[in-house]
Amino acid sequence: MAVVSVENLSKRYGARLAVDGVSLEVGQHEVMGLLGPNGSGKTTILRILTGYLRPTAGAVSVAGFDVVRQGRSARQRIGYVPEDAPLYPQMRVDEFLEFMGRLRGLDGSKLQAALAIARERLGLVDVRDAIIGRLSRGYRQRVSLAQAVLHGPDLLVLDEPTNGLDPRQIIEFRDLVRGLAKQCTIIITSHILGEIARVADRVAILLGGRLLAVRDLSHTRSICFRTRADVADRVEAVLQTAAARLAVAREPDSEGMYRWRVQAIDEPAANRLTGELAAAGMVVVEATANSADLEETFLELTTQEARR
């Protein structure tokens, strides 16, 4: 059963149609990215999902509960981190999380167990007594995530969660999201296509409130790497064995190097491939995940729609 079901969803603000007939489903433990420029309807859809707004038309359900007719039951199964995560800066981390847990109906041993799990899962053990206002942006974001998952939601909604984070914090946050996806379904929005490509299983591309396309990223990932030109033939032999049925391309690069691109490969497979090359005596000088496919798809779809 789909955790999230959206059927012909529309939302009007007066004469303006902010969301126009959007339909999609998100499955269990799936990470769905919502992509689109400002004004495309991403945040409006999230606010309808989480019960902050009522739709003008259409139906939305979370874990089988209609967000309008069964709003309380639906909201009990959602964790939400808005773009500007609301925190009480004067409170200590544990104090705030305990407060949020009680708001969600947790108490006694259930509350203490939930707090312990959230602290451990989100790396907050060492700052449990710290004042929230004195924490770094990255740790404040962890606290926001912790309050959103305390009650074990079926759906976690993240609106622009990496805004204001530095590169190291973004990498840490990416790992947190993938870890949380083992416990719940996640819907995430971001203006950074590369970040969505690294964490999402699928993306829904929006423009002007309309859903242009849904793309599966689990079969469109790629890895790019560089090796010395004098081992190119040996590299290709390894790739033909290790990356069977995958598209492999190579081209001469500067400084006596070759650049390789292996399409449709996930991160664990890329790590195994790099290890096999190293075991065969060929050093990979550089290896990077590539989000160009998603960027090209996004630009192509939004440009075509804008010209209509």
Q: What is the pLDDT of residues 222-244, one digit of tens each?
A: 667 777 888 888 888 877 776 55
Least confident stretch, 98-102, 263-267, 277-281: 263-267
Mind listing the pLDDT tens digit for each residue in 276-299?
A: 777 777 766 655 555 556 777 777
Contact between 190 and 161 (Cβ < 8 Å): yes
User: Of 166, 201, 216, which residue is a domain's last?
Assistant: 216
User: Of 164, 199, 216, which residue is a domain's last?
Assistant: 216
Say yes or no: 207 and 247 in one domain: no
Q: Hey, CA dihedral for 197, 200, 202, 205, is it positive or negative?
A: negative
**Assigned domain for 304 exists:** no
Question: Amino acid letter at 189?
Answer: T
Say yes or no: 149 and 204 in one domain: yes
Say yes or no: 143 and 242 in one domain: no
pLDDT above 60 for 102: yes
Question: Phi-psi bin for 38: left (phi > 0), alpha (psi -120 to 50), beta?
Answer: beta
pTM score of the predicted model = 0.76
State the residue range of the domain holding 233: 222-294
**Assigned domain for 206 exists:** yes
Contact between 134 and 88 (Cβ < 8 Å): no
Q: How many domains does the chain have?
A: 2
User: Of 169, 184, 216, which residue is a domain's last?
Assistant: 216
Say yes or no: 46 and 156 in one domain: yes
**Assigned domain for 91 exists:** yes
Q: Integer distance in angstroms from the first to the last C-alpha of the chain? A: 36
Say yes or no: 126 and 185 in one domain: yes
Say yes or no: 171 and 258 in one domain: no
Measured CA to CA, the distance from residue 275 to residue 7 in angstroms comes to 45
User: Who contacts 285 (Cβ-Cβ below 8 Å, separation ≥6)?
Assistant: 225, 226, 227, 228, 257
- Identify the residue whose tokens are 């689990």: 218
Say yes or no: 199 and 240 in one domain: no
Say yes or no: 211 and 183 in one domain: yes
Mind listing the pLDDT tens digit for each residue in 41-74?
A: 999 999 999 999 999 999 999 999 999 999 999 9
Say yes or no: 164 and 95 in one domain: yes
SS3 at position 232: helix
Mind listing the pLDDT tens digit for each residue in 182-236?
A: 899 999 998 778 778 888 889 999 999 999 989 887 655 566 777 788 888 888 8
